[in-house]
A = this chain, B = another copy of it.
């Protein structure tokens, strides 16, 4: 039973579900549904899929997440970055607009779902931690720029393609002569209006006496107004005959049952993209879920979240959708509108299903430029170039990771960018720990404390030196320590004792153990004793299992002060 409630969180919240929660969830669902209709259409456009795919991807996946997910407020569906990654991945294997393209989207969602489920069952949620914050920030910023640029073609009413900034810009520039001015007028007006809604409408509504929550929700509904107005304009004046691209006929139906293409060739080609989409989607989703849960002192289980998102993506694969994840904007709206349980998500799904059946004829004349405008305005809020300055101030390594991620994402696309960011973060971390800070320390007079002799006035001894290595000892820095010690010993002929103060050594792996053995042997040969002080419990346990302590030329001291007083007793210490 405990295992069952772990894998089915619905059993926990479902048991206490009451009338009050129901009414709150219903209100939230109505608000989110209205907001999701244009957003789902727009992201499907971004992914290069027919508009209904966006709505389908919001129905069954939301329901499945509400059964398996642990977040009470997360709204699952198509999101901007994942839509962009989907377009980039499928663009490699199929031509946009073909049946193969939509089928590949299903396969991508299925693969991603299977991966998320696997990671969840194996409890590997911690893997997402290897995406460092600077890499994520850089990636999201670059993706925002790429997405906004990719939508310019709809604003201008021209053809353009590409998944990298140079390609997109070149393609846009190349087709610039084809500009459709009516499309541009609609696109520019919609973009301007949406920016104004985002920045100027809320203060206005607040001044007009509306409550802050209502003002907020009305602001978030801005895209709906843009959709209604531009659709009416296009319909009344038949702007499609003037070359304005419109959404056109969308099937009036519930999500179809679809089977993803399972050819090995396609799976091989989509494997890496699916993995990256899974990880990026998971990181985005878990960040949102944790932020919202924290506000109500609820807890999120990352491994169960993987299962919830995995189920959602499997659902998307079988119902005409494409890869989904927990979206930031929709989840915040859901939360602000008062959603109390995942049932709100299920009600949203029902709302969207009704829309899919009943409302699709109404968006026949919806200009694609309007959808592009909603995407541009949404993603530009993701662009945060300030991260570069903050990273530069704080740490050069983090700055390098952000900059590389941004530049590589823009220049070579999302997959290269995020992969390079992860590899670079890990490489920089390993590089830093491979050349650890080593301080030679002395006794602060009148205390039992030891400090760096270069920074503090401390007592030293001509024949006894103490080195404090500020890093765990492992294969990447094992040889560094050897070199450092040999150099230090070579320059000082009168040494009798070397103490290694192990305060910051949290681990000694087998490579480092061999280095310590080599150091000990070498120092013995020079008539110098090697001592250890303040070795941590787990490290000591492990050293006891080797022969190192038997062969150690010196002793292991519990505290550095004890080591010092013991070794410097006969000749009196002199001030440095």
- Which residues from chain A sit less than 8 Å from chain B, CB to CB? 126, 129-135, 294, 297, 299, 390-391, 393-395, 397-398, 425-426, 429-430, 432-437, 448-449, 452, 455, 470-472, 474-480, 486, 490, 503-504, 506-507, 509-511, 513-514, 522, 536-538, 542, 545-546, 559
Contact = CB atoms under 8 A, between A and B. Distances in A.
B510 A398 contact: yes
Nearest to A399: B510
Contacts of A130: 430, 434, 475-476
A299 B488 CA distance: 13
Nearest to A294: B522
Contacts of A425: 475
A444 to B, nearest CB: 11
Contacts of A434: 126, 129-130
The 7 closest A-B pairs by CB, nearest first: A132-B475, A133-B511, A398-B510, A470-B506, A132-B511, A133-B514, A504-B504
Contacts of A504: 503-504, 506
A426 B430 contact: yes
Contacts of A546: 390, 393-394
Contact of A134 (B477, B510, B537): B510
A542 B395 contact: yes
Nearest to A537: B455
A447 to B, nearest CB: 9
A394 B477 contact: no
Count of this chain's copies in the oligomeric assembly: 2
A288 to B, nearest CB: 14
A476 B126 CA distance: 8
A375 to B, nearest CB: 27
A242 B357 CA distance: 87
Contacts of A513: 394
A156 to B, nearest CB: 38
A537 B470 CA distance: 11
Nearest to A126: B434
Contacts of A511: 132-134, 398
B538 A437 contact: yes
A133 B478 CA distance: 9
A394 B129 contact: no
A224 to B, nearest CB: 33
A133 B475 contact: yes
Considering residues A294, A437, A511, which has the most beta carbons from chain B within 10 angstroms of its beta carbon? A511
